[in-house]
Structure 1
């Protein structure tokens, strides 16, 4: 007879909705920080994870071509091999792409950071056809490097 296992004290997934405001990247960082700290591998992932979630949410806040009242959906998932998946969903269907930034530019490097620091990243259409989500994976080995 199978036993009911107790729920894990450290859930493997967390989601949140954020407004499209300038303070939302900070809120996403705090949410990720709170999610990762109880996990044994959390300390290895938190610095890179906070940097990349900041970049992805900032892109959604600044570049989304949708009504201002549309929210940003963020999902964090930690797989059994301790790979962190970050997803940032918005209501704009246009896929982002890294672009060259001049050395004097004050912005434009976010996706280049994602490209360099994540083990994988990409962009997919959202279910239902409205918008997209940008995702990235961070492994403890890559984050610690």
Structure 2
């Protein structure tokens, strides 16, 4: 059996405190990494990735928090697959994800946003906790500001 494994062309992995401050830092780290990789802060890919990280990190620190445990953000640029993969891991594996579409509900709409922004997304179990991941199509690096309004909310 021939199995191909895609090696990331670039990777960022960082553990952060499971606090609102840690979630904000995760978004900034991803924005900076993408800018360094040629996808400027005001570009479509960077903006969409920031929204995804913000939602997944907020979920990790709000619903996946275990006292004394951090969460982890991982960003992979998979050039062979033309994909950007975002992973957010928390220490809480006993709480299933809530995916609600009831407009009267108090919460649960964040994963609707994730499903609208990402090409694909899912959940993977870990030895301790879970990883929620999302993937975006990876366009070519941008050399300058696109000058357009980001298309947040549109599926690629």
Into which bin does the TM-score normalised by the smaller protein fall? 0.7 to 0.9
User: Structure 1 residues 95 and 20, CA, compared in 2 at 3 Å: closer, same or farther?
Assistant: same
Q: Is the Cα–Cα contact under 8 Å of residues 45 and 138 in structure 2 kept in the other structure?
A: yes
Q: Is 1:33 paired with 2:34?
A: no
Aligned to 1:138: 136
Query: The residue matched to 1:40 in structure 2 has which SS?
Result: coil
Normalising by structure 2, we get a TM-score of 0.74
Report the alpha carbon displacement of residue 82 of structure 1 after superposing the two structures with TM.
Answer: 3.9
5+ long unaligned stretches in structure 1 = 1-10
Aligned to 1:79: 78
5+ long unaligned stretches in structure 2 = 1-8, 140-149
Q: Is 1:54 paired with 2:54?
A: yes
Measure the CA separation in 1 of the matches of 2:129 and 2:105: 32
Normalising by structure 1, we get a TM-score of 0.79
Compute the RMSD of aligned alpha carbons: 2.2
- Runs ≥4 in structure 1, deviation > 6 angstroms? none
Say which of 22, 25, 45 aligns to 1:24: 22
